[in-house]
Structure 1
């Protein structure tokens, strides 16, 4: 949670070229968590939460990057540094994992925490979440890459540890020196753009990358090339023999471990089909001075390492060339890659690809001797679910050996292909170290690669192409698109960037559409779906409004009595499946679903009745469980003339009640119970408890829903987080609608009231609103009415009531 303190105006700083590029990628990414960085730190004891909060606040006060938001103003991306932000911590607890494996549940919770929204325009772009599953503890530090790189996260963890130790020992948090403000670095970068400081290095890169083409692994699957595509993380420990090979090659060639791993990767790719001209992306820290090495911020850069590898070359020769190329690359690494990429010919940009398909980085001894104060910490595998590129590999030193993590695009590659690359790399390091004069041509590899990436083709290209509508707004879109890209769109759903657009031309496009006093198009809203159709929609008249979708659902056809059911709070027609199975097969059963998302009981009742009328249906019985019974009651009350009989399944009478504003966590517990019963989970299935967040009640809705999704997945009942979030929002809306719903009746129609958790006083309140209803108690709880053995008793009561109601005419 965070609260910005009023006071001095925030400082405005031009974003660096790398930050600006990443901001654009973030807006276009399929999964916006793709540039989140999360360190999973396992600790063997709970931390002092109050002390950690003081230490975390000290970090935010100390470093500009932790108070920075990244916004677009006019045509520029700008850093906004708040003078102070008050922060807090989040906590997730699962007291008893039940049948779930604790390690699996911790991983799933970390994935959900990592994926939680973190929009660049809202500082702080960093958060800490404490997680406990049973007696196992983790600390999750999540930051947005637009303000911090991996080097900076390591610095942050080190300082946070010092600050936590100081607070625990009763000392003031202090450091030997004040930090260099990131704004100083950003302003230096802005000056370098215009003062010619990068000209010599830019010329070097244009020469070094002339006619270059990226090495690309042959894909296994037809997934579309896109940043933020579905991804996975694979952690790999290099063999002892590979570690010995790195040491031997270092002695033979005086190369660093990174240069050796880079050379081995170039050799594997050359043998796999990409050679002899091999180009891969290399992520560098770009910190050449002591000042920059101590800077908390985003300084990292992307360079392209290009090498010539032939079958006659030796392993030592390839590694030596990688060593020399690395020194050249580092000497010119200060020029941001977006500047380099923009200066290259279009053919070269296409062949290299944006983003670069293969990325390598070396993290040195990262993760060694980690601790938070006196508490040792272990760095666990990253919880990413999205991929920046085809493959992005980071290697580092650990416990006398070497580890690697590969983040890969699961829509293009199977895990087996990623493992094949790692095994080939391991073998080259081991065998090449044992025999540095061994030739490249003597290695056989399982990896398959090629050179140059074909222009991206959308999987749904057939859908994207096609005729364009001819409205006035569409004519404006087509004319402006043609002016910016040199030709009209091939169809209403083509991707602007796949058609040759870039960030600057995107701005030109939306600015041109706002000419002549027309309303401006929100470029950020458009970037999520950068198509002509979305542009036309944002202009306001791009497409006619679709007719409202019917809320009516058929559950069973039949000639017998017609029962219409209304969903419970946050529920759906599927919740009645057990009841449906107990009803006679010849009964016709329909239901209402909450696709209309209306805010009150009367509004829902009118809409559901209208859809029944539109279908020409007149139910014999109308009812629902819990909240659904209230809506059914209002539907009957609205009827003129003959009303259907009512079936109210443990529904509270419409007397209204006060809904405490700070009771949201208790409501979420009830919602969790609903979901567990709907999925028929065992009573010991894990249930999360979440605290922290930005709401006054200290409840983070997204985190609570995400951890519930993690708990369900851990017991092999996965429900997409987005679907759970939708159902939770519906549940909250229905609870609020129920709280304000008052109806004094009477409604003159036969009625059956099934009571489970209802009080006798509530049955009396129903009697006053229905005349003379039939009441029947069932020996179960509120949830068991639909999801236990009691449902057979409920069905029997409904069947008998239907017979009596029919006899009454």
Structure 2
């Protein structure tokens, strides 16, 4: 149940139309961070962390939106407000960036923090991260757009600043009045939809958008249209001449700066090839009352601004028409765009696109004169790496001029095309302001545009249905797909939304699949991979399980002695590349790669042994570094018949040990060192330190992995966060397996035990667990055994041991 407040009706809180639509987009977005909003604030001094934490908790206690989850219950998207949520701050610190540029590292960290998971179903949907690189400080405020819009973030930063000032001065955090709960606004929206208050505006929009087609920039690249596709942010400062032109046109036409910019954009698009009928998406604040202007929540709406722009029109005439169109649009802006979109004919919906390809918004002075208590703050460029639409441009006032940020789909547009659009817009504003009676037809632009997206390729019905497996579920999916989209799927892996679907038709498709009494399809699970094949899987009759792939990897073929190596904790066969280079070229060297999710040394040893047996291989030498040495030992213990000789490279003996939960941070530091050594990074490469989070000892795994990914990218060794996450989870699983592993031996086979960090007592424990043992110390640390000059000594010891073991064998 939602928390009840004075003035709020009892019962569940329905999500607004825009929240519901955004929830759907989140589920199917390629990159689910696409609707994260991060304000990246540079501050010139460190903040009082304890005081800021108190201020942040006060904000979460004060505002419903910061305690709201957005969940799907039955067929409705609902807001659930927690009575209280205890929050804290997160922190990333890099004491010495070493060879990394501090500004680059700060930007990369911000991008990783921004991309950190934030699921609508799990409040709080807001977090603060303090970042320090050397002596430079930033505060990152990240929220999910489903609960807060840009206007609300500005309000939040203002109140947070007041609260922080109070804590700095030793005062209690207080405000003159309680805020209006967002649930009140959400219930009002539901009532307006139910009682017909939107009917007049819906009629206006149906008439205003009849036959409209969105203006679309001609793409440079073949990327698919998809929310959450790869994106980039470009910040642009309009010229002083363009700023003067905005002022002159606003004065001449009695228009707002946004109407001037909208009119100029319409001129550019019309001249670029979109034709005289120009339609673009406009994001409005949708806050028409003083109460709504003070509301912390998500009220913003999308409207479509449509204009007729002829070559004989003057710049002043187009701006005046944009002014009048804006007033009409704002009169009817209360109806959520998804409701408007759903009320339009199918042909118009297809021509407009879902979402709108081009989005414009005007932020006024938002983001200027920012402070956190007494500390001035500067709003830096957004760190988003995903795109909501083809292009989304926000313009705001700053330092007496105008700045713009364009978020664009990098799979469809090059930066040069985005810059061309901005330069064309700058020129129209500058020259049109200097000469308001100049005609539209006199402008030449570099931008290329059209009206409406290219129609989806025609599907050959026979070709489309032919390759699909003949099963009842496949045919059921094809029939439902055809009914909803008007034609069968092009193939089993076509994306529903790329084929012309939207959130409304997705529900229709799922309903069609369950109409004959079949079990309901979990639409959320399907949205992550919206293909026909996935639908069949969810219907319960997918492809047959694929046989597990062999873990055996051949590193080098050869007629000589056969050495088989097992990966270290969280490692891979590639970690042995330096050792491989030092071994004789005629040696045969194979390796085992990790088999996911096997939780014990015994289970891994059985799997790796089975794959060797399946290949008919009995290695002469069986070994590994660190955790790999333990697995190799168990593999030798399991051998029937001739046993391989063992090579144990600085591996802890199998005696078991305790693994305290609060040492996870120390284990992550060791994992970081492993990664640095594997990449052969210099000792001064940046090593981030992360604190804060819900996990043991305040460790935030995702933040730590993101900070590590940022530090590696900053020294030109980029490793995707997802890959680091896979390695880290493997490392944790292996460390736990190692801690639990006990084997008293003895295993009757010769063994070479290389010691670097091993104690003498540990070498003795190994000697008691093998046959003839040869121990050798190497002058390096645990990580250096496979790297640097020490690997030459290790290889020499292995070569000599192989000779002795062969003579004995």
TM above 0.5, yes or no, is yes
Cα offset for 1:170?
1.4
Larger mean CA deviation between 480-489 and 590-599 belongs to 480-489
Cα offset for 1:696?
3.0
Taking a change above 3 Å as real, the CA distance of residues 489 and 275 of structure 1, as seen in their structure-2 partners, is closer
1:599-642, CA deviations, whole angstroms, 9 ceiling, x for partnerless residues?
A: 00000000001111111111111100000000000000001121
1:157-189, CA deviations, whole angstroms, 9 ceiling, x for partnerless residues?
A: 000000111111111111122111111110111
Contact 1:549/1:595, CA 8 A, preserved across alignment: no
Residue in structure 1 matched with residue 345 of structure 2 by the alignment: 345
Taking a change above 3 Å as real, the CA distance of residues 509 and 357 of structure 1, as seen in their structure-2 partners, is closer
- The 1-side partners of 2:402 and 2:446 are apart by 22
Cα offset for 1:315?
1.1
- The 2-side partners of 1:603 and 1:559 are apart by 30
Contact 1:126/1:142, CA 8 A, preserved across alignment: yes
The alignment partner of 2:86 has SS state of strand
Residue in structure 2 matched with residue 385 of structure 1 by the alignment: 385
Q: Within the alignment, does 1:702 sit opposite 2:702 as a pair?
A: yes
- The 2-side partners of 1:64 and 1:436 are apart by 48
The alignment partner of 1:779 has SS state of coil
Cα offset for 1:734?
0.3
- The 2-side partners of 1:372 and 1:512 are apart by 53
- The 1-side partners of 2:130 and 2:4 are apart by 22
Contact 1:395/1:404, CA 8 A, preserved across alignment: yes
Cα offset for 1:485?
4.8
Contact 1:11/1:81, CA 8 A, preserved across alignment: no
Residue in structure 2 matched with residue 211 of structure 1 by the alignment: 211
Cα offset for 1:484?
4.8
**Structure 2 residue runs without a partner (length 5+):** none
Cα offset for 1:441?
1.4
Contact 2:2/2:82, CA 8 A, preserved across alignment: no
Taking a change above 3 Å as real, the CA distance of residues 466 and 135 of structure 1, as seen in their structure-2 partners, is farther
1:49-69, CA deviations, whole angstroms, 9 ceiling, x for partnerless residues?
A: 111111111111111111110
Contact 2:354/2:502, CA 8 A, preserved across alignment: no
Cα offset for 1:5?
17
Taking a change above 3 Å as real, the CA distance of residues 431 and 479 of structure 1, as seen in their structure-2 partners, is closer
Contact 1:98/1:685, CA 8 A, preserved across alignment: yes
1:701-745, CA deviations, whole angstroms, 9 ceiling, x for partnerless residues?
A: 011001000000000000011000000000000000000000000
Larger mean CA deviation between 197-206 and 33-42 belongs to 197-206
The alignment partner of 2:33 has SS state of helix
Contact 1:477/1:536, CA 8 A, preserved across alignment: yes
Taking a change above 3 Å as real, the CA distance of residues 251 and 596 of structure 1, as seen in their structure-2 partners, is closer
Cα offset for 1:12?
2.5
The alignment partner of 2:697 has SS state of coil
1:388-424, CA deviations, whole angstroms, 9 ceiling, x for partnerless residues?
A: 0000000000011100000000000000110111111
- The 1-side partners of 2:542 and 2:379 are apart by 50
- The 1-side partners of 2:461 and 2:763 are apart by 60
Cα offset for 1:486?
5.5
Contact 1:2/1:124, CA 8 A, preserved across alignment: no
Residue in structure 1 matched with residue 720 of structure 2 by the alignment: 720
Contact 1:67/1:82, CA 8 A, preserved across alignment: yes
Cα offset for 1:251?
1.4
Larger mean CA deviation between 740-749 and 190-199 belongs to 190-199
Taking a change above 3 Å as real, the CA distance of residues 706 and 460 of structure 1, as seen in their structure-2 partners, is farther
- The 2-side partners of 1:692 and 1:333 are apart by 41
Taking a change above 3 Å as real, the CA distance of residues 258 and 192 of structure 1, as seen in their structure-2 partners, is same
Taking a change above 3 Å as real, the CA distance of residues 239 and 500 of structure 1, as seen in their structure-2 partners, is closer
The alignment partner of 1:803 has SS state of helix
Contact 1:71/1:80, CA 8 A, preserved across alignment: yes
Residue in structure 2 matched with residue 262 of structure 1 by the alignment: 262
Taking a change above 3 Å as real, the CA distance of residues 513 and 447 of structure 1, as seen in their structure-2 partners, is closer
Cα offset for 1:502?
3.6
Contact 2:751/2:770, CA 8 A, preserved across alignment: yes
- The 2-side partners of 1:127 and 1:525 are apart by 26
Taking a change above 3 Å as real, the CA distance of residues 18 and 3 of structure 1, as seen in their structure-2 partners, is closer
Cα offset for 1:746?
0.3
Residue in structure 2 matched with residue 177 of structure 1 by the alignment: 177
- The 1-side partners of 2:335 and 2:378 are apart by 35
Cα offset for 1:455?
3.5
The alignment partner of 1:225 has SS state of coil
Cα offset for 1:201?
1.0
Cα offset for 1:345?
1.2
Cα offset for 1:479?
4.5
1:546-601, CA deviations, whole angstroms, 9 ceiling, x for partnerless residues?
A: 01011011101111111100000000000000000011111111100013331000
The alignment partner of 2:258 has SS state of helix
Contact 2:464/2:488, CA 8 A, preserved across alignment: no
Larger mean CA deviation between 480-489 and 207-216 belongs to 480-489
Taking a change above 3 Å as real, the CA distance of residues 304 and 486 of structure 1, as seen in their structure-2 partners, is closer
- The 1-side partners of 2:676 and 2:207 are apart by 62
Contact 1:465/1:492, CA 8 A, preserved across alignment: no
Residue in structure 2 matched with residue 132 of structure 1 by the alignment: 132
Taking a change above 3 Å as real, the CA distance of residues 739 and 157 of structure 1, as seen in their structure-2 partners, is same
Larger mean CA deviation between 735-744 and 493-502 belongs to 493-502
Contact 2:266/2:309, CA 8 A, preserved across alignment: yes
Taking a change above 3 Å as real, the CA distance of residues 389 and 402 of structure 1, as seen in their structure-2 partners, is same
Cα offset for 1:346?
1.1
Cα offset for 1:521?
2.7
Taking a change above 3 Å as real, the CA distance of residues 322 and 536 of structure 1, as seen in their structure-2 partners, is same
Cα offset for 1:225?
0.3
Contact 1:259/1:323, CA 8 A, preserved across alignment: yes
Larger mean CA deviation between 4-13 and 431-440 belongs to 4-13
Contact 1:691/1:698, CA 8 A, preserved across alignment: yes
1:253-283, CA deviations, whole angstroms, 9 ceiling, x for partnerless residues?
A: 1111101111111111111111211111000
Contact 2:395/2:403, CA 8 A, preserved across alignment: yes
Cα offset for 1:6?
21
The alignment partner of 2:236 has SS state of strand
The alignment partner of 1:804 has SS state of helix
1:131-165, CA deviations, whole angstroms, 9 ceiling, x for partnerless residues?
A: 11111100000000000000000000000000111
Cα offset for 1:491?
2.5
The alignment partner of 1:80 has SS state of strand
Cα offset for 1:694?
1.1
Cα offset for 1:483?
5.2
Superposed counterparts of 1:387-426, under 5 Å: 387-426=387-426
Residue in structure 1 matched with residue 794 of structure 2 by the alignment: 794
Cα offset for 1:516?
7.2
Cα offset for 1:457?
6.3
Contact 2:556/2:589, CA 8 A, preserved across alignment: yes
- The 2-side partners of 1:3 and 1:49 are apart by 30
- The 2-side partners of 1:285 and 1:6 are apart by 26
Taking a change above 3 Å as real, the CA distance of residues 413 and 647 of structure 1, as seen in their structure-2 partners, is same
Residue in structure 1 matched with residue 625 of structure 2 by the alignment: 625
Contact 1:224/1:457, CA 8 A, preserved across alignment: no
Cα offset for 1:245?
1.0
- The 2-side partners of 1:712 and 1:462 are apart by 50
- The 1-side partners of 2:90 and 2:534 are apart by 37
1:204-260, CA deviations, whole angstroms, 9 ceiling, x for partnerless residues?
A: 111111111111111100000000000000000111111111111111111111011
Cα offset for 1:495?
2.4
Contact 1:314/1:436, CA 8 A, preserved across alignment: yes
Residue in structure 2 matched with residue 37 of structure 1 by the alignment: 37
**Structure 1 residue runs without a partner (length 5+):** none
- The 2-side partners of 1:665 and 1:463 are apart by 55
Contact 2:362/2:395, CA 8 A, preserved across alignment: yes
- The 2-side partners of 1:489 and 1:10 are apart by 45
Cα offset for 1:304?
0.7
Cα offset for 1:695?
1.2
- The 2-side partners of 1:230 and 1:217 are apart by 17
Taking a change above 3 Å as real, the CA distance of residues 4 and 84 of structure 1, as seen in their structure-2 partners, is farther
Larger mean CA deviation between 260-269 and 485-494 belongs to 485-494
Taking a change above 3 Å as real, the CA distance of residues 464 and 566 of structure 1, as seen in their structure-2 partners, is farther
TM-score (norm 1): 0.97
